[in-house]
Amino acid sequence: MEETFAVKLEKKRYLPDPRCRAAARVPDYPRAYREFMRDPEGFWDRVARELVWFKPWDQVREWNYPYAKWFVNGQLNITASCLDRHAAGDRKDKPAIIWRGEGGEEERVFTYDGLRREVMRFANGLKLLGVGKGDRVCIYMPLVPEQVVAMLACARIGAVHSVVFGGFGPDALATRINDAAAKVLITADVAYRRGKTVPLREIALEALARTPCVERVVVLRREHPKVDLDPDREVDYADLMAAAAPSSPAEAMDAEDPLFILYTSGSTGAPKGIVHTCGGYAVGAYYTTKCVFDIKESDVYWCTADPGWITGHSYVVYGPLAVGTTVVIVEGAPDHPDPGACWRQVRDLGVTVFYTAPTAIRMFMRYGDRWPAKYDLSTLRVLGSVGEPLNPEAFEWYYHRIGGGRCPIVDTWWQTETGMHMATTMIGEAMKPGFVGKAVPGAVVDVVDRTGRPVPPGTGGFLVVREPWPAMLRGVHGNDERYRAYWNTIPGCYTAGDLAVKDEDGYIMVLGRADDLIVVAGHNIGTAEVESALVSHDAVAEAAVIGKPDPLKGNAIKAFVTLRAGVIPDDGLSGELARHVKKSLGPVAVPAEIEYVDRLPKTRSGKIMRRVLRARELGMDPGDISTLEE
């Protein structure tokens, strides 16, 4: 998107029940925001004091544009706030995790004390494998409690985890393992999805043929009979636990030590390893979980995300456990074995706070009202949405059919890079379908033109953050230039890469990505990764992929492919290419449509101009094409 542009805005609004405003953790948003703006450091200082620190900080924030430090010289371990303090107090026997297998037949419950003991033992297991502070550990697992245990165990000993979503294929996994130079890989024999098994370990072994950095592999064996392991390299999860000592003190970490790396797709080149640190991230994830979702002691909280994505890191694992709530985790597809599966879990477990993605809401919408209507959903009190724009139709359906017209919806805008919610409609404020709302207390979010000047209401522009915030990314692993690019594009601002518009009241509507990232069913897919997977097929010369609006997935991938000389596309080729991409990157990255073309539009310097393809496909003006080659 080159310049600012006019956008027509919806006017509809919903006023929340005054009772939920009065009872909210932040009962007066305008006042809370004003207080934050008056003294940002004082605001975050007060929040940080609610967590466990081993050594207090000397200074709340040090801003050396574009490098920030938060809670300077403070020491902590996030697991002390997530586990020890609850296990030592009133929440000892409170369920920390209620896990259910697909379909809900299998259930495992971990109390705060029980989870702490699992984490400490696995932390010692990692030490037995030679893992220490600062080492990178890759976690490639299904949505099982052991995935959460593995993350927390890394945090316990100061190892840096890099979780790779279990839906990714061997190439995507190998790239991420090598970029982080992970020493240990933690995986499982299989994941269960739609009644089928996904052979995670086999995929991992394929990746491991190209990852010399990995010394040892931990395998959680779920199937019977158990798969055979390679004794030289692999170790069984249960055996490792049995060999490990039970108690493990939480390693004292500097607030600015890295906590994890999480990969997000860049617009060009390899995926970016976003680095988050121990102190600021903990504070940001904790505050937003507590206040945006308004978590109370009796809540049962379910975020449907996988920890393979940032939503799972901040709002399945670290935020909710730091708050001390009960977290529901369900493996498998939410519409299996039938489209009521998700709502049955809400009823059976008495879920009160439910957080999911627009793509799931649209899927449930398509199945029809009769599925949620079969279940008593009256325990629900807060609904959340994340990952892509929640279109007004989906908002209405979610609000009425799931929330019974009673529950506020928090549509939360944020990113892997931001680590925490940045904009939403805080509980108690009027909700506007299609709009995420305003900045959360603690963040300064704006919509600007390319010089950094705020654009007037109704004019689209770039979504930016003006001030550093505690959970902001501290770097891109091994690539400072890519980090600096976030702060160099628009003067004085962090550029999110999204387009947005504000209305007269300052409510923000997110319009989508300004770059070449495609958000498919809530998953960020980089054009570059899909293109390189296509090009790795013998028949393909070049490829360009674009996102095309899709009623269900938000966006679907369309690929334009030029074939190698002499290759004639026959009926089977598209299917073969789709399988090829699936094998390499996983099912989320498979193009929905493939078109064979003679050549691709390119700049003179040889860069493919995807926006020209997108404009042609959607019947829009391609904008400035002065750099287009002949």
Residue with tokens 């059976």: 348
The piece of 93-101, 208-216, 279-287, 414-422 that touches ligand 6R9 (CB under 6 A) is: 414-422
Cβ neighbours of residue 400 under 8 Å, at least 6 residues apart? none
Give Cα separations from 498 to 486, 518, 534, 545, 548 (angstroms): 12, 11, 26, 19, 16
The piece of 170-178, 204-212, 221-229, 385-393 that touches ligand 6R9 (CB under 6 A) is: 385-393
Choice between 76 and 172, CB closer to ligand 6R9: 172
Among 187, 345, 412, 495, binds ligand 6R9 (CB under 6 A): 412
Among 33, 57, 293, 414, binds ligand 6R9 (CB under 6 A): 414
Among 189, 251, 299, 388, binds ligand 6R9 (CB under 6 A): 388
Question: Judged by CB under 6 A, does residue 311 bind ligand 6R9?
Answer: yes
Choice between 237 and 309, CB closer to ligand 6R9: 309
> What sign results for the dihedral spanned by CA atoms 239, 243, 247, 252?
negative
Closest CB 406 distance from ligand 6R9, rounded Å: 21
Closest CB 497 distance from ligand 6R9, rounded Å: 6
Closest CB 126 distance from ligand 6R9, rounded Å: 27
CB atoms within 10 A of CB 34: 11
Closest CB 399 distance from ligand 6R9, rounded Å: 15
Q: What are the two backbone dihedrals, phi and then psi, of residue 541, each rounded to the nearest 5 degrees?
A: -95, -55
Question: Judged by CB under 6 A, does residue 460 bind ligand 6R9?
Answer: no
Give dist(CA 464, CA 488) in Å, integer. 12
Question: Judged by CB under 6 A, does residue 436 bind ligand 6R9?
Answer: yes
Closest CB 82 distance from ligand 6R9, rounded Å: 20
Choice between 77 and 311, CB closer to ligand 6R9: 311
Closest CB 421 distance from ligand 6R9, rounded Å: 8
Question: Judged by CB under 6 A, does residue 413 bind ligand 6R9?
Answer: yes
Residues in 497-516 that interact with ligand 6R9 by CB under 6 A: 497-498, 510, 513
Question: Judged by CB under 6 A, does residue 284 bind ligand 6R9?
Answer: no
The piece of 138-146, 169-177, 320-328, 408-416 that touches ligand 6R9 (CB under 6 A) is: 408-416
CB atoms within 10 A of CB 129: 18
User: Taking the CA atoms of the chain, what radius of gyration do you get in angstroms?
Assistant: 24
Question: Judged by CB under 6 A, does residue 304 bind ligand 6R9?
Answer: no
Dump the DSSP string for 457-526: TTEEEEEEE-S--TTS--EETT-HHHHHHHHHSSTTSEEEEEEEEE-TT--EEEEEESSSEEEETTEEEE
Give dist(CA 279, CA 51) in Å, integer. 10
CB atoms within 10 A of CB 8: 6
Choice between 519 and 559, CB closer to ligand 6R9: 519
Give dist(CA 585, CA 168) in Å, integer. 5
Give dist(CA 6, CA 13) in Å, integer. 21
Residues in 133-152 that interact with ligand 6R9 by CB under 6 A: none
Report the Cα–Cα distance between both ends of the chain, in Å, rounded.
22
Question: Judged by CB under 6 A, does residue 416 bind ligand 6R9?
Answer: yes
Residue with tokens 């594009």: 489
Question: Judged by CB under 6 A, does residue 395 bind ligand 6R9?
Answer: no
Among 363, 519, 609, 612, binds ligand 6R9 (CB under 6 A): 519
Closest CB 589 distance from ligand 6R9, rounded Å: 14
The piece of 230-238, 307-315, 486-494, 617-625 that touches ligand 6R9 (CB under 6 A) is: 307-315
Give dist(CA 358, CA 396) in Å, integer. 12
Number of residues that bind ligand 6R9 (CB under 6 A): 22
Residue with tokens 């080729």: 573
Which of these, 141, 143, 161, lies nearest to 151 by C-alpha position? Answer: 161
To the nearest 10°, the Cα dihedral for 341, 344, 346, 348?
-140
Choice between 8 and 19, CB closer to ligand 6R9: 8
The piece of 219-227, 442-450, 490-498, 541-549 that touches ligand 6R9 (CB under 6 A) is: 490-498
> What sign results for the dihedral spanned by CA atoms 400, 401, 403, 404?
positive
The piece of 470-478, 495-503, 559-567, 605-613 that touches ligand 6R9 (CB under 6 A) is: 495-503
Which of these, 405, 337, 404, 408, lies nearest to 376 by C-alpha position? Answer: 404
| Binding positions for ligand 6R9, rule: CB under 6 A | 264, 309-311, 386-389, 411-416, 436, 496-498, 510, 513, 519, 524
